[in-house]
Copies of this chain bind each other. A is one copy, B any other.
Amino acid sequence: MRFNSLLFFLLFTVSGFTQTSDSLTLEKIYGEVLGSSSCYDNLRVLCKTIGHRLAGSPQADAAISWAENTALANDFDTVYLMPVSVPRWERGFTERASFVLGNDTVALPIRALGGSVGTQGVVQGEIVMARSIEELREMGREKVAGKIVFLNKPMNALLINTGAAYGGAFDIRSQGASEAARLGAVACIIRSLTLADDRYPHTGAMSYAEDVVKIPAAALSSADAYTLSQHCAKEPVRFLLEMNCKSYPRTTQYNVIGELKGSTLPEEYIVVGGHLDSWDIGEGAHDDGAGVVQSIEVLRCLKAIGYQPKRTIRCVLFINEEFGNDGGITYAEQVRLRNEYHFAAIESDGGGFSPRGFNLEGSDGHFERLNSFRSLLEPFGLYQFKRGWSGVDIAPLKNERTALCGLSVDTQRYFDYHHSDNDRFENVNKRELQLGAAAMASLVYLIDQHGTE
């Protein structure tokens, strides 16, 4: 009885202390992040002085230098670059389209899909519209050959999770051109992957199957896709397309890495990251400028509150998530070559929106531990701790030992901006951005203190 009482007393005291100490540290983290404008100011500089930064471009070079200098300016213990081979594709100067109704020619904004071939002059043809890849296949070669395929598949607005809606329409962008080429089409245009009703076309990666002729591929805005579909339902519509986008030989760019060295377990790594590259339009503010500045902020704020991590906290700013995930793949290869033990990796690549929690890819033990942090994180508005997708860049790190966590944010507005000219600094809210950084820093702290399982 006496022993049990003592044990009870000790357990109670220790766990009581830990809880209090953890809560106090989380409050310090939130205070530091919300009280400083560092992460918002960094995003402004990245978006406004460099702007968009497609992997392989001079702007991506500038972003790499900026990221390295920003990490150095924050006195991280180690800052270095990791070479990564990346593709190089350029949109070029000419990018225009019109549809023709009788004597009327109506110009409309388009954006070549990333990786598309150019048109070599103007391509034109009658439009054949399909609502899905399946519907296109059913049309067969007879109806499609020599024409311009218009894949008009909207994202499903009835899904609450807009990421799932994106996944459901993604195939028209990634495979649409190949499927159309297989049936003899001369070009492929798609409805932009967005839930907004506006005139911004949204680009994004596409690729060609090995067995097809490469035909040009471009996106129309959702509003123009609607207009065009109304005309196509009534009468034949001709479409004109000219783009001089082009691919070039691969080049070398860099993942940017900064660390806070661990005090007692420096050989165990906790990674936070986002991707430095963006599409070559807009400013890559939500995708993924937000993740970049948040990841830098995690290390800055832990250092600023005087936290001495047990493990090494590593910020990895990946190059080329958008167009082949070269940064993520190269990083994971290096981790294996160096035999580094990655304890956990946390990615932010869902935009700088209000965080709701974390998605986890990992073991049952990882999941239990993540859930044990719930009561500490709920006061900060973090409620969702689910199994689910973590992030493209950290996905290649997947193994039994590493807990992969994705910052889960409110998804409603993401695809309004994603891969479009509308993904600008002005569309990121300072506090929402900061809360994401503080959530990541809090999880890093809790994992460092209590492990992942």
Contacts and interface: CB of A to CB of B under 8 A. Distances in A.
Interface of A: 30-31, 34-35, 157-158, 160, 162, 195-197, 354, 356, 379-381, 383-384, 410, 412-413, 416, 429-432, 435
Contacts of A383: 356, 383-384
Contact of A158 (B31, B158, B196, B412): B31
Contacts of A413: 429, 431-432
Nearest to A196: B430
Given A30-B158, A196-B430, A413-B429, 19 more contacts: A30-B160, A31-B158, A34-B158, A35-B157, A35-B158, A160-B381, A160-B435, A162-B431, A195-B431, A197-B430, A354-B354, A356-B383, A383-B383, A383-B384, A412-B429, A412-B432, A413-B431, A413-B432, A416-B429
Contacts of A384: 383
Contacts of A35: 157-158
Contacts of A197: 430
Contacts of A354: 354, 410, 412
A410 B379 CA distance: 14
A198 to B, nearest CB: 11
A34 B412 CA distance: 12
22 contacts: A30-B158, A30-B160, A31-B158, A34-B157, A34-B158, A35-B157, A35-B158, A157-B431, A160-B379, A160-B380, A160-B381, A160-B435, A162-B431, A354-B354, A356-B383, A383-B383, A412-B431, A412-B432, A412-B435, A413-B429, A413-B431, A416-B429
A431 B380 CA distance: 24
A326 B110 CA distance: 52
A98 B354 CA distance: 37
Contacts of A356: 381, 383
A380 B160 CA distance: 6
Contacts of A196: 430
Contacts of A430: 196-197
Nearest to A159: B34
A90 B30 CA distance: 42
A157 B30 CA distance: 10
Nearest to A379: B160
Contacts of A429: 412-413, 416
The 10 closest A-B pairs by CB, nearest first: A383-B383, A412-B431, A354-B410, A412-B432, A34-B158, A31-B158, A34-B157, A413-B429, A354-B412, A160-B381
Contacts of A160: 30, 379-381, 435
A355 to B, nearest CB: 10
A384 B357 CA distance: 13
A356 B432 CA distance: 15
Contacts of A195: 431
Contacts of A157: 34-35, 431
A401 B235 CA distance: 62
A382 to B, nearest CB: 10
Contacts of A381: 160, 356
Contacts of A410: 354, 410
Nearest to A37: B197
A363 B131 CA distance: 52
Contacts of A431: 157, 162, 195, 412-413
The residue in A31, A160, A162, A384 that gathers the most chain B C-beta atoms within 10 A of its C-beta is A160
Nearest to A32: B158
Contacts of A31: 158
Interface centre among A354, A379, A431 (most CB of B within 10 A): A431
A380 B197 CA distance: 23
Contacts of A380: 160
Contacts of A162: 431
A387 B162 CA distance: 30
Contacts of A416: 429
Nearest to A40: B197
Nearest to A415: B431
Contacts of A30: 158, 160
A381 B431 CA distance: 21
A34 B381 CA distance: 25
A196 B430 CA distance: 8
A222 to B, nearest CB: 12
